[in-house]
Amino acid sequence: MSTRILVIDDDQSMCELIQESLQRSGWQVEWRMRGDEGLELFRERDFDVVITDLNLDNMSGIDLCRNLTENRPDTPVIVITAYGNMSSAIAAIRAGAYDFINKPIDMAALAHVIDRAVQHRHLREEVKRLKNEAATGGRGMGALSGENRAMLKVYDLIRRVADTDTTVLLSGESGTGKELVARALHTESARAQMPFVAINCAAVPASLLESELFGHMKGAFTDAKNTRKGLLEQAGGGTLLLDEIGEMPLEMQPKLLRVLQERQVRPVGGNTSVPVECRIVAATNRDLETEVEEQRFREDLYYRLNVVQIHIPPLRARGNDVLLLAQHFVRKFAERMGKVVTGISSEAAKKLLEYDWPGNVRQLENSMERAVTLTRFEQITVEDLPERISRYESSRVSLGDVDSEHMLTLDQLERRYIERVLKAAQGNKTQAAKLLGVDRRTLYRKLERYESASN
């Protein structure tokens, strides 16, 4: 739909000049010469932007600006003022005006301000919509939130496999919410009333991992003073999440494979096996196919785990989900801290959308906790955001005459292109390597370097 603009100015020739100029850009323009008539039309119809002169015959421009913004605070008002009348312009801004432009009017500058004003309005509307969705739960599943197409696909896969015993492999970058997906698989299943047990394979020393998973008998080793059930048995008929499965030591992998095949586990130092009734979910931020190729992960175990794979997209590929999640975290931390913080300013929202979020949802959550902690207002502002986000500028490549600071280095260009190809391949690094014309090991090394540079 074309942008609709209302012009209020007691100079007819000025109204006609603005209308003629702006209509060339495809915008719909109506004008009135009296403040009361302009206000009446504004109340009857929906306009995207209002342009008004501060000097009107029958009404104070400041009063008109205040009436316009009180009626529809989401509609930007641009005021026209003469040079040297800055005090009036500042008063109009305080009355709610979005911006002002000096006479004589530069039509190109006016068009630019209108563009920014329209974007500002749309962003405010989007923030309000996502705030309402965050308050009512929105489209999501359990603790998962988001309405991006890639996330809708995740929800669909969860629902389709939740009530099966099929082993599921969760893939995705660190911080994307793989454990939340595992919990959603559990709560959406008939196992929901049974235990959900998680273990990070990278956080447990190799010497203890077998005992943690399988359990041990009293006296099986020096510190085994009592018989202890392993997590596979503790999970009962529930769900066991093996997080960071790619970090599992090679010597442990055939033992896990046997458990998956036989659905039985023998505690360390024991002579008899006990049945395994839990559902196994594994998660990794590594490309296990590359790990298999480099002989760091057993191929047979990989295929046993990868019966159904659910890929969780990175936050930078989820569009406006960034704002939906940010609103959710603002509400969460405001309640926890007992602060009145109702949302996010449009300028801060723009910064959140521009940032590329190398730390994904975890980084966003931490950033919103910091913002709620520091803010002195009811809305999160740009100043409340971490410096790396508030000062972030998205890089653009241009062949024109541009400032060198906006140009990309070759390394940045390569990284962004690889990330775009990975997104197109839905995170499948094998397919992405083929599209890029490199082998998987080369791609894997580059991704490792990018990840270490982000930490």
Give the largest CA-CA distance in the chain.
98
Does 135 score more than 60 pLDDT?
A: no
Task: Please determine whether the domains at 4-133 and 146-311 fall in the same fold group of CATH.
Answer: yes
Domain boundaries, the chain: 4-133, 146-311, 316-390, 404-454
Does 407 score more than 80 pLDDT?
A: no
> Which pLDDT does position 402 carry in this prediction?
42
Q: pLDDT tier at 220 (50, 70, 90 boundaries)?
A: low
Q: 160-164, 199-203, 339-343, 398-402 — which is least confidently predicted?
A: 398-402
> Which pLDDT does position 403 carry in this prediction?
42
The mean per-residue pLDDT over the stretch 347-356 comes to: 91
Domain 316-390 = CATH 1.10.8.60: yes
Rounded CA-CA distance 362/34 in Å is: 53
Backbone angles phi, psi at 105, to 5 degrees: -75, 125
AA letter at 162: A
The mean per-residue pLDDT over the stretch 151-167 comes to: 91
Rounded CA-CA distance 192/163 in Å is: 10
> Which pLDDT does position 342 carry in this prediction?
86
Fold (topology level) of 146-311: Rossmann fold (3.40.50)
On whether the CB atoms of residues 114 and 98 are closer than 8 A, the answer is: no
> Which pLDDT does position 24 carry in this prediction?
87
Task: State whether the Cα torsion 286-287-293-294 is positive or negative.
Answer: negative
Q: pLDDT tier at 142 (50, 70, 90 boundaries)?
A: low
407 bridge partner residues: none
> Which pLDDT does position 438 carry in this prediction?
81
Tell me the pLDDT tens digit for each residue of 236-289: 999 999 999 999 999 999 999 999 999 999 888 888 888 999 999 999 999 898
Tell me the pLDDT tens digit for each residue of 293-326: 889 999 999 999 999 999 999 998 888 899 989 9
32 bridge partner residues: 8
> Which pLDDT does position 294 carry in this prediction?
86
Domain 404-454 = CATH 1.10.10.60: yes
> Which pLDDT does position 271 carry in this prediction?
83
Residue 44, Cβ neighbours under 10 Å: how many? Answer: 7
Tell me the pLDDT tens digit for each residue of 223-234: 777 888 889 999
Q: pLDDT tier at 398 (50, 70, 90 boundaries)?
A: very low
> Which pLDDT does position 80 carry in this prediction?
86
Task: State whether the Cα torsion 149-368-244-180 is positive or negative.
Answer: negative
> Which pLDDT does position 175 carry in this prediction?
92
Total-model pTM: 0.62
Domain 4-133 = CATH 3.40.50.2300: yes
